[in-house]
Amino acid sequence: MSQRLRILLVDDEINMLESLGDVLRAEKYQVATASSGEEALARLEKERNFDLMITDLKMPKMNGLDLLDRASKAFPSLEVIVLTGHGSVESAVQAMRRGAHDFLLKPFQPEDALSIISRLDEKKNGHLQNNSFMSELSQTYGFDSIIGNSPAIMSVFKKVATAAKSNASILITGESGTGKELVAHVIHYFSHRANRPFIKTSCAAFGEGVLESELFGHERGAFTHAVEQRKGRFELADRGTLFLDEVGDIPMHTQTKLVRVLQTKEFERVGGTETLKVDVRVIAATHRNIRQMISEGRFREDLFYRLNVIPIVLPPLRERQDDIPLLVNHFLGQLSREMGKKIDKVADSAMDELVNHPWPGNIRELRNAVERAVVFCEGRQLKVDDLHAERLHDAHEDGHALKLKSLSLQEAESSLITHCLNLTKWNLSKTAKLLEISRGTLYSKMVKLGLRDTEEEEAPEEE
């Protein structure tokens, strides 16, 4: 039989300790309380068996951030959830950067706290192995990459925290590479639907007929190759969140059906007659100017208002230049570890190059630039030469330095591989990384294109 979490509640408001404590005890959690940071540390030190600490951030003498720092250092396995008022979201974000698992905005409903705690409980007892959402975000989506100290990004955090507590539809807009999908994940995680499915689909990836089937499903025989019944994304997301990326690319006929689903929560599968009802929170995203599309007759105005209940606009990177050094250092540490390198810092001249570039591809482009630089860097300091800064401007020039347009496909491939080999001084590992293919694939292509002797054994991995 699994053992429930042992929880320490810390707050200088006695009513909060009692009310939240009663809720948790009713769910069979073991609960202890402390009315100050000093008392909490003393109890942690004495009993040493707590799994979770829930602490208010605003307390006299020792505040919640100081308590978090000291407790996390002394008890690394202790999970921490912080409580804060709506006016102090920045403090909650800072707490998460310093190791807190999550935060709750006062006033909150008991089910909000229980949702977070139950996932921690399941994780502790082995039911959700390696499923800490914040860990997943950090590793897969680079959660840290959207944080910063600029007013623009802090404004986004406030809106995300508020939007997460609602069931209303959300429209996230912003240029490509600004992190729209990541923000959708974060909203889902902070919502009461967090332990339900998060289903995503790119509306730009499918033609009109296929997109309808993807969204609403289809019955067997509904069209050619429909050999069996298939559930759509709305059914799969029932009681959870559906993320519709590039919603500006939805064809008009499908837009009409989408309006109905958002209004009534009902739909039929393609080729079917049974009306299905779902409870889905929709988060949509696009880089397009939807208002202009409406004026041009390419997007339904009623659909826009259904999606745009809560609008979140992500700023381009050029409008948050102060955050670029934070992002660069984050990516540098992350990528250096992945590649087994020890690169300690970025030269001032290289950082200036990165800060002053306009980054039309935003955070995604910045990460790629740092990744290329880490590939080329041979020392412990990333320099301008490692950045190949001219590439930051080549994308804006007409044509291509390799003049690939005039070559056959095989000639173009050979020219590109040779160019990259020369850049890396024929280091196969670095060339494969640059081309985003495996080393074995690179070697096979080189043999096929006559860039390697077919009888030569593959060279060992370069250091």
Return the higher-pLDDT residue of 348 and 145: 348
Per-residue b/e over 6-28, b at no fewer than 16 CB within 10 Å? ebbbbbbeeebbeebbebbeeee
Region 158-168: what's the mean pLDDT?
Answer: 82
Q: Which domains, from first to last, does the chain contain?
A: 6-131 (3.40.50.2300), 144-313 (3.40.50.300), 318-394 (1.10.8.60), 407-448 (1.10.10)
Q: Is the pLDDT of residue 93 over 80?
A: no
Looking up tokens 């001249």, which residue turns up? 349
Tell me the C-alpha distance between 317 and 326, whole Å.
12
Confidence of residue 460 (pLDDT cuts 50, 70, 90): very low
Q: What is the pLDDT of residue 307?
A: 94
Q: What pLDDT is recorded for position 111?
A: 81
pLDDT in tens, 259-306: 999 988 899 988 888 999 999 999 999 999 999 999 999 999 999 999
Choice among 115-129, 254-268, 326-340 with the minimum mean pLDDT: 115-129
Instruction: Look at 141 and 304; give whichever has higher pLDDT.
Output: 304
Highest average pLDDT, of 8-17, 104-113, 433-442, comes from 8-17
Categorize the per-residue pLDDT at 4 as very low, low, confident or very high, splitting at 50, 70 and 90: confident
Using CA atoms, how far apart are residues 283 and 189, in angstroms rounded to an integer? 13
Helical H segments across 75-179, by residue range: 89-97, 110-124, 133-136, 151-164
192 has a pLDDT exceeding 70? yes
196/213 Cα distance (integer angstroms): 22
Radius of gyration of the chain (CA): 26
Please report the pLDDT score of residue 234 as a whole number: 94
pLDDT above 60 for 364: yes
Give the pLDDT confidence score for residue 285 in this predicted structure: 96
CA angle 447-459-420, nearest 5°?
Answer: 60
Average predicted confidence (pLDDT) for the chain:
82
Given pLDDT bands bounded at 50, 70 and 90, which one contains residue 89?
low
CA distances from 122 to 115, 119, 125, 187 (A): 11, 5, 5, 21
Q: How many helices (H) and strands (E) does the chain have?
A: 21, 14
Give the residue-averaged pLDDT of 435-450: 80
Taking residues 78-93, report their average pLDDT: 76
- As a whole number of angstroms, the distance between CA 69 and CA 284 comes to 37
pLDDT of residue 86: 56
Give the pairing of strands 52-56 and 79-85.
parallel
pLDDT at position 352: 93
* Per-residue model confidence (pLDDT) at position 319: 92
Greatest alpha-carbon pair distance for the chain in Å reads 79
pLDDT digits (tens, 9 = 90+) for 204-244: 888 767 888 889 988 887 777 777 888 889 999 998 999 99
Share of the chain above pLDDT 70, in %: 84
195 pLDDT higher than 50: yes
Range with the poorest average pLDDT among 22-36, 37-51, 52-66, 143-157: 143-157
d(CA 336, CA 128): 29
User: Looking at residue 140, what is its pLDDT?
Assistant: 46
For residue 376, the surrounding DSSP H or E stretch is: helix 362-376
Q: How confident is the model at residue 123 (pLDDT cuts 50, 70, 90)?
A: low
**pLDDT at residue 138 tops 70:** no
1: β partners: none
Specify the pLDDT at position 409.
64
